[in-house]
Amino acid sequence: MRYASLFQPITVGGVELKNRIVRSAHGTLLTGEGLIAYHEARARGGVAMSTLEATSVHDSAPSLMPLYNDSIIPVYREIADRMRPYGMKMFAQVYHPGAATKPRKSPFPWSASAIPSPNIGTIPMPMSTDMIGDVVKAFGDAARRIREGGLDGIDVHASSGYLLQQFMSPATNQRDDHYGGSFENRMRFLVETLEEIRRVVGDDFCVGIRLPNEEYIPGGLTPQDNADIAKYVEKYVDYVSLHMGSYWRFHKLLSTMEDPLGHEMKPNEVITPVVSKPTIVVGRIMTLDHANHIVESGAGDMVSMVRALIADPELVNKGQRGEEDLVRPCIGSNMGCVAQLMATGKLSCVVNVAAANEQTVPFEPVAPAPAKKKVLVIGGGPAGLEAARTAALRGHDVVLYEATRQLGGQVAIASRAPHRSDLAAITDFLSRERRNPMKWSSPPAPLRVETAFSCRHPQCR
Ligand SMILES: Cc1cc2nc3c(=O)[nH]c(=O)nc-3n(C[C@H](O)[C@H](O)[C@H](O)COP(=O)(O)O)c2cc1C
């Protein structure tokens, strides 16, 4: 069987996952049908479990989805109902950004100590014991709403440098009360939060935790510290999800093509061996082959593939069908997903125009053109290749003209710079596609491709 380890089911906190490919939480800033269509595409594509983006539990840090009041419950019910037919389990991530609360949302962010988050700059207000108690209770209320909303589980975000981590880390917690100083004191807020969530949802509801594996702040949490934390809190949770960094080193939190594939695995080596609960690992794991190796070798029980599945929601299905060569690749540039999310407030993807536009843009053409035409595409850069491919898939008779000896345009040139080679993954994919459009068979479109497009260049014939 292909990818035997990866396609093995696993039961986590009573929730059965049909394979080991999951999606850790990630911001989309979509709501309503747009959000549902986004996740539905990945559910249809074979993913076992997805997590809704980090959502604030408390109105001191307002978020797009108001998890701090009951109006969220019908929203979650709708999402849960729409994912169920595909067998993809849906979790929600709960958090409070603390010092990372955006100024337009709160001019006075809360934190452990008066240490600003580097991506915000505002000096936060050290929280009083009453404020801490209020947020702990809010985590419990949020957990109740998630359970009542029919979702499958809760992912507690104690990472990415947000509030819980601000208390956990000696670099950002300089308190001298019983929430600061010793390891036990720095863990107190997190433990109270987990206890409250458990008190509210009980032991028969899946609760996981997302922890940092490396913090990258001088005097901050090392892999060994994070191993101690994971061991300390694992009795409260059903899985431990590990990932890298915090906003203090944003390029490590969301690595780019500069980092090797699977680069977050190294610090995990100190943590996963001491954890007895199932683990989720992540970080530029772009192929099912790599993911299968991780599960097979015991380096992680589940593999989160976030950007790879933004680029190609059909990745899992294609792997199951042995069509890995048809996977549209993530190039790890972050220019579409993270950069656009932060700059414009909307997720996108430089290699998949349908990402976060699923309601209106199909991943692949869904119907042949009403009339077959001769299409001439001039220029074999990424836009020309993409246009030619789309036209061919719609049944047109396509010829692509390229003036140079190489397809890929400026992307091919840019990819020759040091640490930029992943850029060429997309132009290589598109160049390959011209040779085998007949092989294209991505559901749900039952389109029969009747014409290939061909490059006139002698090298390409
Ligand atoms: C656009 C975007 C938004 C993200 N937002 C969150 C988030 O809300 N919560 C979280 O825990 N991680 C978040 N992440 C991190 C991902 O869960 C994951 O750790 C990261 O993308 C690395 O995995 P990958 O290489 O498979 O993409 C986000 C990632 C992206 C790309």
Arithmetic mean of pLDDT, 315-334: 94
Residue 106 banded pLDDT, cuts 50, 70, 90: confident
Q: Which residues of 119-131 are buried (b: 16+ CB within 10 A; e: fewer)?
A: bbebebbbbeeee
Q: Is 400 in the pocket of ligand 1 (CB under 6 A)?
A: no
User: 437 pLDDT exceeds 80?
Assistant: no
Catalytic residue among 162, 236, 239, 247: 162
Cα(160) to centroid(ligand 1), Å: 10
**Architecture of domain 374-460 in this structure:** 3-Layer(aba) Sandwich (3.40)
pLDDT of residue 361: 95
20, 23, 24, 35: residue to mutate for ligand 1 pocket, most atoms within 8 A of CB = 24
pLDDT of residue 160: 93
Any alpha helices (H) in 105-182, and if so which ranges? 129-148, 163-168
User: 451 pLDDT exceeds 50?
Assistant: no
**Alpha-carbon span 25 to 377, nearest angstrom:** 39
Q: Is 252 in the pocket of ligand 1 (CB under 6 A)?
A: no
10-344 against 374-460: fold identical: no
Residue 441 banded pLDDT, cuts 50, 70, 90: very low
Sign of the CA dihedral running 26, 32, 37, 43: positive
Arithmetic mean of pLDDT, 75-94: 98
306, 337, 348: residue to mutate for ligand 1 pocket, most atoms within 8 A of CB = 306
**Alpha-carbon span 254 to 34, nearest angstrom:** 24
**Average pLDDT along the chain:** 92
pLDDT of residue 398: 86
Phi-psi sector, 50: left (phi>0), alpha (psi -120 to 50), beta: beta
Residue 281 has φ and ψ, to the nearest 5°, of -120, 165
Arithmetic mean of pLDDT, 260-284: 96
Q: Return the percentage of the chain with pLDDT > 90, whole number.
A: 79
Q: What is the pLDDT of residues 30-42, one digit of tens each?
A: 999 999 999 999 9
User: 56 pLDDT exceeds 80?
Assistant: yes
Residue 116 banded pLDDT, cuts 50, 70, 90: very high
User: Would you say 22 and 304 are in contact if contact means Cβ atoms under 8 Å apart?
Assistant: yes
Catalytic residue check, 95: no
Q: What is the pLDDT of residues 202-219, one digit of tens each?
A: 999 999 999 999 998 889
Cα(409) to centroid(ligand 1), Å: 30
Least confident residue range of 150-164, 379-393, 433-447? 433-447
User: 453 pLDDT exceeds 80?
Assistant: no
Shortest-distance atom of ligand 1 to CA 307: 27
pLDDT of residue 252: 64
User: Would you say 24 and 47 are in contact if contact means Cβ atoms under 8 Å apart?
Assistant: no
Q: Which residues of 249-279 are buried (b: 16+ CB within 10 A; e: fewer)?
A: bbebbbbbbebeebebbebbebbbeebebbb
Domain boundaries, the chain: 10-344, 374-460
Q: What is the pTM of this model?
A: 0.93
Domain 10-344 listed as CATH 3.90.1640.10: no
pLDDT of residue 364: 92
Shortest-distance atom of ligand 1 to CA 159: 11
Amino acid symbol at 134: D
Arithmetic mean of pLDDT, 137-149: 98
Q: Is 42 in the pocket of ligand 1 (CB under 6 A)?
A: no
Angle at 195 between CA 99 and CA 141, to 5 degrees: 65
pLDDT of residue 447: 27
